[in-house]
Amino acid sequence: MRLDDQEQSSNVEDRRGSGGFGRGGMRLGGGKIGIGTIVVALAAWYFLGINPMTILGGGDIMQEPAGQSQQAGQPVANDKDKVFISKVLKTTENVWTGIFKQNGGTYQNPALVLYSGATRSACGVGQAAMGPFYCPEDRKVYLDMSFFHQMGAQMGVQGDFAQGYVLAHEVGHHVQNLLGVMDKMAQARSSMNERQANDLSVRVELQADCFAGIWAHELQKEGTIIEDGDIEEAMNAAAAVGDDHIQKQAQGYVVPDSFTHGSSEQRMSWFKRGLAGGDMKQCNTFAQQ
């Protein structure tokens, strides 16, 4: 990605080195489980195989994970990472502001929270082990930058545009939230069995991939940011985070009914659909059988 001339977003909240929970840790009281908590739980399973019930179950109180948060005042490492991700976020803001305007709407920028180890969110405790996630309740994307190193070391995914795809996918969830998709998902889940809920989650995730493809489509049209090999980096990332690929690596076999994000083929296909057409109407994953 050529981002030298790209402005940085002003919507980045850097909590690295500030101690994500403040004094005495964090406790979140009970009540019903929101869609944001479900998104966090799915992300935990999706990236590192963490049982979602460790987040959704075991009582209504979640506490700061021992040893996860940084101490206040600890220096922030590698500020060039913040500059890079801030510029990528700005490209998503430019793209979606233009698309919403073309369709008679107003895009509301999400915030990007950078943290180390663990941090608070309106959806519960965000941990690095969960990977990047979007919380619809506070309209923020949460990212521990170490994830990109893990993505390379554990998944073999390299390249700055692969990292851009990850952020664009999470911003895709924000677009869904603005369009009311998240609310509809929460309502629909209440009357679904586990298999149906998993299928719904797949459709939500594939639509976010399609929206990431639209982001890439708009950058291609601009002609100054995308370089040779960038699209291949995004495709490799989409393939690496397919449910079938992750399950095969983790346990040696695939259980399609347990998919929550889609297969590698599906994820690449929907990204390519958004990339080819640049049309949100082509991203209706819920109409596909």
Q: The tokens of 166 are what?
A: 């990850």
Predicted confidence (pLDDT) per residue in 263-286, tens digit: 889 999 999 999 999 999 999 999
CB burial string 16-37: b at 16+ within 10 A, e below: bbbbbbeeeebebeeeebbbbb
Predicted confidence (pLDDT) per residue in 144-176, tens digit: 988 888 777 777 788 899 999 999 999 999 999
Q: What are the residues facing 134 on neighbouring strands?
A: 141
Q: What are the residues facing 124 on neighbouring strands?
A: 121
Q: Which of 182, 104, 97 is nearest to 139 (CA)?
A: 182
CA 182 to chain centre: 14
Residue 52, pLDDT > 50, answer: no
Contact between residue 84 and residue 91 where contact means Cβ atoms under 8 Å apart:
no
Lowest mean pLDDT among 67-76, 78-87, 230-239: 67-76
Predicted confidence (pLDDT) per residue in 181-208, tens digit: 989 988 888 888 888 888 899 999 999 9
Q: Which of 35, 8, 20, 31 is nearest to 173 (CA)?
A: 35
